[in-house]
């Protein structure tokens, strides 16, 4: 380590926010005026490395494509391809291996879907790096100079001016009316006033008023600061480390399909072994041809047991759902996360910019004659003034409101402009809110400035906590008792009152009594308790006018005008969204870096449960993980938390068995967004980091859109269950048909020189990929049920295939097997095996098409909304047409081993196949009757 460098251990132990600025300067071996020398800075850069965040190595595209094949169902399909090719080779490689080609095409199609979606892989660390400004101003060798931000080192003296981004963590050594915007890092909704005083021990960076942080920006004033941390060691870097350590979780659907794939794999092997053994015992192996036929039959069973189109259909249904969600303002970045959103039990939401508008606005004004409420939100100057009870404002009170808002607009450095079709602000959001309120009151800002030009000012400082400006007044637009000049002052109400000797009431000044001071302070306290940011406004007539000497304490003998209360208001649609989520069994939790009072007031306004009060970051520091898990069952509001706290909350909720949707927009939300079951980021106000870490991005920054997305997610999940019910019942029906067919035929007809298969492998493949797949895909497009948002989410450990669905699958499979084999056996009585297979082939196809109508619900009759899914009817018609083409085209007759059927034979197949509808409808009626009796019994207490 070079002599001029400081050990990393020393930097880690350094607590600059708790130290005096001079001690920090000494500890970092720098100078408060001249900074580092170029030589020392160069040596430190060699030692500490550049001020950048290291990016995780990206996997090459070819490897990411190969990894798409890591799936149990893909392994099954590849095994089926291998067996099919083996049979083809044993048959001397005659013709084309259709089965192997088609199955392999499905495998490649599914891998391509996954690769395309995951090509937009996690770029959160890269987005963090992009947020670091390219250049910074430092003092080196006693001279200010611009350098690349990547070249900053500990000990550098940063010069920070209004509007500049900050590239490293640094301890402030000098400030002049200096504010920073830290919402993206700490969640603080308004600019933070900075100073240089040391702090007591504090674990929360949002309280470190003597520090500035990488990734934030200066909104007003200027400052100098000594760099204490760079790169990965900054608070930004700490978030990056959390983000890198956070592992993404598999969704419940992914885990369920993995489990289903393993079960199907076991079933394929077991059934194949049992069938081969049965064939050997019953038929014997008399020739190589019989061995090949037995192996071919094993392949047919493997194809029947494995729904080849399942993975592809899941992907397509999710992709189509994603398109619908995008049209409604929600962009999905990862397909499998869609169904998780539908199972969410908790929405853990950030406040600033998510639940609120992230735009300060005046909500309440208190003057001598009473209180006034102000409507409207954001920076659009539209709203009205009314009494707290909604009544009309009397003239005296209206005059006081006009005067206080004229004063607030004059002692103001912000700007409000209408450009490009929208209202925009420049400067401090708090000052901008005062301008918006003035315009709402009918005050023309341009006229006000021209009629009352500023001729002097005393800027805001952290020591004084107030700002004053001197103006020359136009007598036609000002009360006569003010005079030709006036000093307008705004600041902290309690400190401002100490300098006031009178207040304006009923059109003029009156003495400010001690009782009135107490009343004003009580009013200020009540406004603060309601989460309003409160400012006092006062004036002083200055009849002498200029000269104006800021060094002279002219902020004396002020006349108090009143209090102005501001807030970052909740989004108008957020309360309804919270209520709708509650009706759907989803609890909303508010997590913010803002103050506890603000969080509590916003939560109450939104209808979030506040019965357990507010937990702060400091509270969490003293809680074990077990204690936190217990409190999370009742606590719904968290304030003054940092990124590690948010991540801990999400993990504790997951430990409680919750499915967590985490919403946020800032850098500070990124680790929790990535750790959550589904992360939801804001698209407009959100940072690149939040968007890249999230699974879902709201393009309209509308909290209500997440509830819409949950509805869509539930619908998609319901539809996945529908086509799973359909696919598995039909595939199990095929298995039973093949297995029982061989056994029954052998038992009934004795041994033969060839296997009497009721269906050929190519016919089964046709069923699975055409007549099976298209209706299944159409079921994935079924409209939402009427009760989709009126029921609680499924439990986190609920199986996608529950006992009820398993019974449905067994009943349908048995009906299909029995009906198909009866038709097959009846045809064999005439001795025509090809005719018998054709009848069985057509019957099982029709069984599946009728079953598609059944699969739309496990409880509702098929006649409820029978024609609401036009895609399903289109696929049924297309499947019938394709089946007719196969049976009546000579070339396809040869390829599929079928013959043409008469209209009467088609009708016979249809009548037998329709039995699945009537039997299942009867089952639904019986099940519904039993459940209604149980509910009635529970209600009466007899159960």
Residue numbers annotated as active site: 350
d(CA 658, CA 732): 34
Helix, strand and coil percent figures for the chain, each rounded to 5: 50, 15, 35
Report how far Cα 188 is from the mean position of its chain's Cα atoms.
Answer: 20
Report the 3 state secondary structure along 404-445.
Answer: HHHHHHHCCCCEEEEECCEEEEECCHHHHHHHHHHHHCCCCH
User: Cα dist. 941→407, 544, 557, 929, 930 in Å?
Assistant: 69, 87, 76, 18, 16
d(CA 637, CA 920): 48
d(CA 940, CA 203): 56
E-strand ranges in 568-670 read 587-591, 615-616, 637-639, 660-664
Q: Residue 220 in contact with residue 190, Cβ under 8 Å?
A: no
Report how far Cα 177 is from the mean position of its chain's Cα atoms.
Answer: 37
Provide the 3-class DSSP secondary structure of residue 455.
strand
Which value, in Å, is the radius of gyration of the alpha carbons in the chain?
A: 37
Q: Residue 912 in contact with residue 815, Cβ under 8 Å?
A: no
Residue of 924, 734, 731, 759 lying closest to 837 (CA atoms):
759
Residue of 163, 212, 169, 167 lying closest to 188 (CA atoms):
212
Pairing of strands 217-229, 169-181: antiparallel
User: Cα dist. 312→159, 636, 781 in Å?
Assistant: 57, 40, 14
The residue behind tokens 């009817």 is: 873
Long-range contacts of 572-576 (CB under 8 A, 24+ apart): 572/377, 573/702, 573/703, 573/704, 574/355, 574/356, 574/606, 574/703, 574/704, 575/605, 575/606, 575/607, 576/704
- Structure token pair of residue 259: 């489990």
Q: For residue 722, count CB atoms less than 10 angstroms from its CB and return exposed for 0-12, middle for 13-18, buried for 19 or more.
A: buried
- Structure token pair of residue 209: 């008023």
d(CA 112, CA 109): 5
Q: Omega before 864 cis (within 30°)?
A: no
**Residue 818 contacts by C-beta under 8 Å, 6 or more apart in sequence?**
none
Burial 523-540 (b: 16+ CB within 10 A, else e): bbebbbebbbbbbbbbbb
d(CA 710, CA 791): 12
Q: Residue 147 in contact with residue 136, Cβ under 8 Å?
A: yes
d(CA 612, CA 94): 75
- Structure token pair of residue 524: 């200020």
Q: Residue 636 in contact with residue 588, Cβ under 8 Å?
A: yes
- Structure token pair of residue 461: 């400082």
Backbone angles phi, psi at 488, to 5 degrees: -105, 135
- Structure token pair of residue 242: 């959390």
End-to-end CA distance of the chain: give it in Å, rounded: 78
Which spans in 49-93 are helix H? Answer: 61-66, 72-90
């Amino acid at each position: 380590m070079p002599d001029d460098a400081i050990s990393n251990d020393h930097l880690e132990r350094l607590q600059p926010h708790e130290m005096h600025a001079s001690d920090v300067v000494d500890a970092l071996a720098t100078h408060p005026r001249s900074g580092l020398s170029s030589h020392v800075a160069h040596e430190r850069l060699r030692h500490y490395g550049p001020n950048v965040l290291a990016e995780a190595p990206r996997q090459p595209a070819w490897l990411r494509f190969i990894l798409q094949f890591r799936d149990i169902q893909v392994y099954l399909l590849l095994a089926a391809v291998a067996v099919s090719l083996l049979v083809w080779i044993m048959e001397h490689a005659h013709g084309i291996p259709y089965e192997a080609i088609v199955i392999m095409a499905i495998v490649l199609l599914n891998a391509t879907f996954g690769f395309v979606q995951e090509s937009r892989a996690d770029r959160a660390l890269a987005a963090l790096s992009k947020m670091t400004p390219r250049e910074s101003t430092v003092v080196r060798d006693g001279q200010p100079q611009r350098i690349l931000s990547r070249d900053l080192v500990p000990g550098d003296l940063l010069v920070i001016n209004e509007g500049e981004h900050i590239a490293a963590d640094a301890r402030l050594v000098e400030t002049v009316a200096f504010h920073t915007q830290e919402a993206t890092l700490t969640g603080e909704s308004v600019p933070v006033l900075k100073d240089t005083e040391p702090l007591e021990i504090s674990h929360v960076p949002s309280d470190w008023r003597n520090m500035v942080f990488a990734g934030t920006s200066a909104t007003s004033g200027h400052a100098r600061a000594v760099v204490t941390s760079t790169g990965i060691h900054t608070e930004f870097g700490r978030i990056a480390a959390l983000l890198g350590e956070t592992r993404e979780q598999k969704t419940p659907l992914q885990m369920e399909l993995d489990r289903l794939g393993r079960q199907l794999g076991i079933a394929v092997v077991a059934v194949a072994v049992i069938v081969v053994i049965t064939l050997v015992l019953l038929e014997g192996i008399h020739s190589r041809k019989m061995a090949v036929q037995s192996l071919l039959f094993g392949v047919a069973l493997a194809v029947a047991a494995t729904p080849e189109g399942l993975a592809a259909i899941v992907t397509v249904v999710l992709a189509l759902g994603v398109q619908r969600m995008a049209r409604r303002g929600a962009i999905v970045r990862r397909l499998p996360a869609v169904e998780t959103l539908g199972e969410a039990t908790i929405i853990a939401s950030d406040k600033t910019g998510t639940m609120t508008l992230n735009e300060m606005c005046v909500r309440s004004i208190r003057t001598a004659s009473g209180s006034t409420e102000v409507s409207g939100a954001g920076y659009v100057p539209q709203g009205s003034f009314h009494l707290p009870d909604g009544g009309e404002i009397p003239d005296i009170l209206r005059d006081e409101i006009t005067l206080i808002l004229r004063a607030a607009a004059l002692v103001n450095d912000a700007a409000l402009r209408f450009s490009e079709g929208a209202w925009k602000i420049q400067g401090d959001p708090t000052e901008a809110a005062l301008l918006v309120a003035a315009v709402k009151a009918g005050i023309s800002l341009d006229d006000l400035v021209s009629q009352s030009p500023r001729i002097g000012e005393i800027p805001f400082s952290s020591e004084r906590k107030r700002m004053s400006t001197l103006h020359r007044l136009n007598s036609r637009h000002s009360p006569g008792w003010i005079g030709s000049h006036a000093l307008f002052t705004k600041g902290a109400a309690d400190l401002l009152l100490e300098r006031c000797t009178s207040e304006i009431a009923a059109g003029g000044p009156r003495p400010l009594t001690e009782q009135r001071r107490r009343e004003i302070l009580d009013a200020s306290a009540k406004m603060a308790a309601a989460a309003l940011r409160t400012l006092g406004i006062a004036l002083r007539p200055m009849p002498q006018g200029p000269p104006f000497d800021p060094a002279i304490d002219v902020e004396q003998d002020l006349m108090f005008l009143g209090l102005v209360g501001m807030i970052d208001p909740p989004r108008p649609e957020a309360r309804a969204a919270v209520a709708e989520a509650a009706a759907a069994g989803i609890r909303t939790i508010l997590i913010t870096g803002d103050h506890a009072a603000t969080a509590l007031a916003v939560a109450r306004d939104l209808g979030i449960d506040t019965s357990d009060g507010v937990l702060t970051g400091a509270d969490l520091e003293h809680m074990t993980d077990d204690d936190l898990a217990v409190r999370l069952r009742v606590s719904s509001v968290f304030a003054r938390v940092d990124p590690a706290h948010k991540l801990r909350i999400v993990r504790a909720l997951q430990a409680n068995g919750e499915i967590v949707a985490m919403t946020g927009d800032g850098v500070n939300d990124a680790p929790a967004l990535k750790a959550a079951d589904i992360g939801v980021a804001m698209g407009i106000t959100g940072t690149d980091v939040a968007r890249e870490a999230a699974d879902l991005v709201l393009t309209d920054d509308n909290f209500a859109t997440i509830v819409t997305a949950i509805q869509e997610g539930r619908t998609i999940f319901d539809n996945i269950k529908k086509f799973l019910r359909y696919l598995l019942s039909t595939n199990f029906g095929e298995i039973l048909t093949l297995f029982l067919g061989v056994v029954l035929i052998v038992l009934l007809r004795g041994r033969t020189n060839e296997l009497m298969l009721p269906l050929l492998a190519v016919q089964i493949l046709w069923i699975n990929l055409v007549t099976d797949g298209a209706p299944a895909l159409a079921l994935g497009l079924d409209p939402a049920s009427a009760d989709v948002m009126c029921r609680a989410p499924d439990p986190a450990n609920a199986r996608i295939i529950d006992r009820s669905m398993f019974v449905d699958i067994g009943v349908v499979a048995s009906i299909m097997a029995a009906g198909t084999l009866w038709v097959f056996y009846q045809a064999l009585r005439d001795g025509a095996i090809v005719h018998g297979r054709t009848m069985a082939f057509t019957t099982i196809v029709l069984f599946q098409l009728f079953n598609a109508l059944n699969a739309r619900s496990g409880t509702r009759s098929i006649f409820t909304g029978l024609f609401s899914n036009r895609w399903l009817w289109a696929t049924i018609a297309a499947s019938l047409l394709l089946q007719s083409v196969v049976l009546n085209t000579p070339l396809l007759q040869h390829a599929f081993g079928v013959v043409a059927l008469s209209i009467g034979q088609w009708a016979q197949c249809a009548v037998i196949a329709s039995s699945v509808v009537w039997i299942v409808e009867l089952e639904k009626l019986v099940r519904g009757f039993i459940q209604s009796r149980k509910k009635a019994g529970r209600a009466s207490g007899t159960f």
